[in-house]
Amino acid sequence: MNEIKPKNSRVERRFAVFFLAPALLLLITFRLIPLGWGFLMSFTDADNTGQANWVGAANYIKAIEDPTFQDSIVNTLLLLATMPIMVMLPMLLAILIHQGVPGGRFFRAVYFLPAVLSSVIVGAIFNIVLRYDGSLNSFLDSIGIDGVDWLGSSNTALISLIAVQLWSTFGMSVLIFMAGLTTVPDDIIEAARIDGARFWQRLYFIVIPSLKPIIEFVAVVTTVGLLTNMFGLIYVLTGGGPGTATTMPEFLIWLEQGKLNRPGYAAALSMFLFLMMAGVAYAQVRIMSRNAKV
């Protein structure tokens, strides 16, 4: 078949290239090429002076045996273990607000406020508050309870970090859940009510199952945030300490690259992080395609 290629499609194609060029140029130069380069770099012992020798998988082996890295992985697992709370709590709050708890609209606006603040600001404020010589302990003192070294003692440091992270991100999840709640059709809830279901029963049997895609979405977004968005917080709140109590991989990578001058090793660590991200992405794609069929 002799396909006529009219000026139409040629013009369209050239224009599309013209319009996509800046975006693609930026993305390829600053994200995709570095990804490949990082992958290669992870197999070298590069340092910041430009020296680099091929060392094969030595960095990876070193990472697996590195106690600091191991600690950071353990911390990450502990962090991820609290993810269900980070999803359930906002969901409960969203449902309550949606159902008309008095003051709901005010709450919704205020809950989101922490999400607007940068992690550095949040970290700095809570650093002042939670320090051993900080305001929380002063307050506790004044009502007769002994102060605790929230940030300085390894037992409480990680918990403090997790609590602050929860504080700063739950508002966003509440908003997303509230948006999702509008997609739950009223009529099936009313039908359940006529069928005799109480509030908690309606919640458990109707509302929450309808929210499943949103729950999964929030879980993914929260996990991504936990893996990649806590740098500022860690840096300012605890600096990774005490010791390695609050060190996470994303912080460690920065440490290794800059302070400790081992960018090749840092690149290998990044690949581990990338694997975790890829795992999350894979889960997300699976979830999305499953929900799309529904």
Partner 1 sequence: MAISGKRERRSMWFASVPMGLLALSCIYPLYFALNNALKDNRGYILDRFGMVTDPSFENFVTAWSRARFSEYFLNSVITTGGAVATLLLVSSMAGFALAVLRFPFRRTVFVLILASLMIPVQVILVPFYQTIIATGLLNTRIGLIISYTAFFLPFSIYLMTAFYAGIPRDLTEAARIDGARFLQVWWYVMLPMGKPALLTLGILNTLYCWNDVLISLLVLQNERTLMVGITALRGEYTTNVPLLAAGIVLAAAPIVVIYLVFQRRIVAGIAAGAVKG
Partner 2 sequence: MSNLALENVHKSFGSVDVIKGVDLEISPGEFVVFVGPSGCGKSTLLRMIAGLEDVSSGTISIADKDVTSLEPYDRGIAMVFQSYALYPHMTVAENMGFALRLAGKSKAEWRLIVEDAAKILQIDALLDRKPAELSGGQRQRVAIGRAIVRKPEVFLFDEPLSNLDAELRVQTRIEIARLHQTLDTTMIYVTHDQTEAMTLADRIVVLRGGKIEQVGKPTDLYDDPDNAFVAGFIGSPAMNFLACEAVNANTVRVEGLEVKLPSLKIALNLGQKLRLGIRPEHLNGTKGPSLKIKMDVVEQLGATAFVHGKMESGTPILVEARASRPKAGELIDVPFAPEYIYLFDGDGQRIR
Q: Does 190 bind partner 1 (CB under 8 A)?
A: yes
DSSP the chain: ------HHHHHHHHHHHHHHHHHHHHHIIIIIHHHHHHHHHTTB---TTS---B-TTHHHHHHHH-HHHHHHHHHHHHHHHTHHHHHHHHHHHHHHHHTT-TTHHHHHHHHTHHHHS-HHHHHHHHHHHHSTTSHHHHHHHHTTPPP--TTTSHHHHHHHHHHHHHHHHHHHHHHHHHHHHTTS-HHHHHHHHHTT--HHHHIIIIIHHHTHHHHHHHHHHHHHHHHHS-HHHHHHHTTT-STTTT--HHHHHHIIIIIS--HHHHHHHHHHHHHHHHHHHHHHHHHHHHHHH-
List residues bridging with 54 in a β-sheet.
44
Q: Does 197 bind partner 1 (CB under 8 A)?
A: no
Q: Does 215 bind partner 1 (CB under 8 A)?
A: no
Among 120, 148, 159, 208, binds partner 1 (CB under 8 A): 120
Least distance in Å: CB of 250 to partner 1?
4
Q: Does 117 bind partner 1 (CB under 8 A)?
A: yes
Site for partner 1 in 45-104 (CB under 8 A): 46, 93, 96-103
Among 179, 205, 243, 261, binds partner 1 (CB under 8 A): 179
Task: Determine the interface stretch with partner 1 among 65-73, 79-87, 149-157, 260-268 (rule: CB under 8 A).
Answer: 260-268
Least distance in Å: CB of 84 to partner 1?
18
Binding partner selected for residue 290 from partner 2, partner 1, none, CB under the kind-specific 5 to 8 Å limit: none
Least distance in Å: CB of 14 to partner 2?
13
Residue 86, both tokens: 């980070």
Least distance in Å: CB of 6 to partner 2?
4
Among 66, 80, 134, 156, binds partner 1 (CB under 8 A): 134
Least distance in Å: CB of 54 to partner 1?
16
Between the CA atoms of 184, 188, 192 and 193, what dihedral angle is there, to the nearest 10 degrees? 80
Binding partner selected for residue 122 from partner 1, partner 2, none, CB under the kind-specific 5 to 8 Å limit: partner 1
Among 63, 160, 180, 215, binds partner 1 (CB under 8 A): 180
Among 214, 215, 226, 245, binds partner 1 (CB under 8 A): 214
Specify the residue, 16 or 24, whose C-beta has the smaller distance to partner 2: 16
Specify the residue, 83 or 112, whose C-beta has the smaller distance to partner 1: 112
- Is 53 exposed, middle or buried (CB count within 10 Å of its CB: 0-12, 13-18, 19+)? exposed
Task: Determine the interface stretch with partner 1 among 31-39, 57-65, 67-75, 79-87 (rule: CB under 8 A).
Answer: 31-39
Total of chain residues touching partner 1, rule CB under 8 A: 103
